[in-house]
Structure 1
Amino acid sequence: MSNSLMEWLKQFKIEDINLDLLNTAFTHRSIKGLRQSYKIEERDDDYERLEFLGDAVLDLVVSDKLYNRVPLSEGNLTVLRSRMVNEKTLGDLFDALKMKPFVRSALPKLSQKVKCDILESFFAVIYIEKGFRRCQEVWDLIMKKTKIEDTLLSSHLDTESIENDQLTPSQIEERKTLRRYYESIEIKTDQNARNVLEQLFAKVYGDPSMLPDFNDFEKTETVDGPRFIVRLNETIILLEKKYYLHTEGVARRYKLAQIRAAEKACDMIYLPYTKR
């Protein structure tokens, strides 16, 4: 595999790198029970420690790129970064870069999370071997190849422009005020709407058990399969103003219907989240 892996690395202008470390970045822990079949030595590790480092490296690479490329507010930069380094985007990059042939795994199928973890581990190896500047260069090459950065940036700016056209001046100011508030209480917006909304409730009420109730639902059977309707009926006080979050989410899966209901609630209070 080393020859094909080195050939694959040429697209990133990498010719000299620790292949043992790189193979670790492509090794999932599921392989540990099948070491003989895959000719993996007992001392060989999996990618989990590298993923921890790579996650931080990619966050910094993307943060630096966005900071220097677009004159947006902190809140907008945070939302953009979360869209670029979430599981879906990095998993799609994994597929676009055709990394699967180099993965050592006993899993029947690689999930988006595993793909994301492997890509982050790959960047950890580049950081260890070549330094941060080279990580930036490789990221730029990947963005030029896939156009994902341009697509996400264009989509985000178009959305902001459309929102501004549809909002009154007082609503635009309210959105700015609320988003500054969300930043001040450190709401992590790189998650789906339900998770983000749950964070907000827990922080506002100072109690991790004070979460929005998504248990009001109904299930019907259709010719296309089950259909779930989840109803959210909550109120929340933000900066001394009460907001009524009465929404409904519809989907073929219960959890997705919950997320859809949460998305509408987040939109009502200008709470950023990562679309799933």
Structure 2
Amino acid sequence: MYVDNEYELRSWLRNLNLGYVSLDLIIVAFTHRSFKGMGHDVGDYERLEFVGDSVLDLINAEQLYKDEDLTEAEMTELRKGYVSNKQLAIIFDAIDIERFIRVANNLNLTPKVKAGFVEAFFGAIYFAKGYKACLNLWEFITEDFFTAHRQESPQSTSNIWPPQNSPIPLKNAKTTLQEFCQNQFFDTPIYKLIKKSGPDHEPMFTVRVTIKPGENKIDFENVFDEYAFKGRGIYTEGMGPKKKIAEMIAAEEMCDVIGLLYTST
């Protein structure tokens, strides 16, 4: 597969300690579906993103398991924070993936889009060089976190990975979303029951949460180009055996779209 800046891409891969890597999958990993929409007959990153998401989950689960003091619930929360859209978007910027991606000119690089590129990249490395290479790459990229942790706690013998000074979600999704809307001039999130199904003794509720910009948020359509509905804001939905549970799941989905960290209930 041809790429304009092949030399730069190979040099970049070497700088990540990856050695020689076939570029075919890497280029697919760095191709957004919007690029296909411009008339290019190429593959996009979505299938590799699916694989990379699982690879990163396994890497973090494996490392967190080494700390015998962590409960299953704590491991789940830590892993969720470490591979969130916000965290992966930071990695996207830190290793400068943007200069190699192929996207439509008007695509807004939201945290979710950036995270997708990172996950797809790890999916490509998994198929090209295997799981061990993915683990080594993740450790290499996050080395700064380790260094900062050792400097702050030189006597620590904890095996928590990544270190404890990494951003960790502390509030549930509804609270996180509420604070985001207040701080970013959005209207208060609106939760609406849109469906109740199942028998009376085992009901299932579907709730939709909608957020839309206040008067001061004039660039809303540009910020959320993939999810925006003109004049109506954006919405996500959640299902649960209780209305409050469905509301929380809907809020978690919205936080994932925006790239906000939260504590899962």
User: For structure 1, which runs of at least 5 residues remain unmatched after alignment?
Assistant: 161-188, 227-237, 239-243, 245-254, 260-270
The one of 153, 161, 173 equivalent to 1:192 is 173
Greater helix share, 1 or 2? 1
Number of the residue aligned with 1:208: 204
Deviations 1:52-80 (A, max 9, x none): 11111111011111112463100000000
Aligned length: 194
Deviations 1:127-158 (A, max 9, x none): 10111111111100011045599597424899
Range 73-82 or range 100-109, more displaced = 100-109
User: For structure 2, which runs of at least 5 residues remain unmatched after alignment?
Assistant: 150-160, 178-190, 219-241, 245-250, 256-261
The within-5 A match list for 1:5-16 is: 5-16=9-20
Structure 2 counterpart of 1:142, one-letter code: I
Number of the residue aligned with 1:88: 86
Alignment CA distance shift 1:149-1:134 (3 Å): farther
Larger Rg: 1
The within-5 A match list for 1:252-263 is: none
Give the % identical residues: 31
> In 2, Cα distance between the equivalents of 1:144 and 1:152?
9
Deviation at 1:34, TM superposition (A): 2.8
SS in 1 for 2:134: helix
> In 2, Cα distance between the equivalents of 1:26 and 1:6?
14
Alignment CA distance shift 1:21-1:139 (3 Å): same
Number of the residue aligned with 2:263: 272
Deviation at 1:208, TM superposition (A): 3.4
Which protein, 1 or 2, shows the higher relative CO under an 8 Å CA cutoff with sep ≥ 6?
A: 2
Number of the residue aligned with 1:140: 139
TM-score by length of 1: 0.57
The one of 154, 158, 173 equivalent to 2:164 is 154
Structure 2 counterpart of 1:123, one-letter code: F
Kindly report the root-mean-square deviation, in angstroms, between the aligned alpha carbons of the 2 structures: 4.6
Alignment CA distance shift 1:25-1:148 (3 Å): farther
SS in 1 for 2:107: coil
The within-5 A match list for 1:97-112 is: 97-106=95-104, 107-112=106-111
Deviation at 1:11, TM superposition (A): 2.4
Structure 1 counterpart of 2:98, one-letter code: K
Alignment CA distance shift 1:11-1:272 (3 Å): same
> In 2, Cα distance between the equivalents of 1:27 and 1:60?
24
> In 1, Cα distance between the equivalents of 2:168 and 2:81?
15
SS in 1 for 2:66: helix
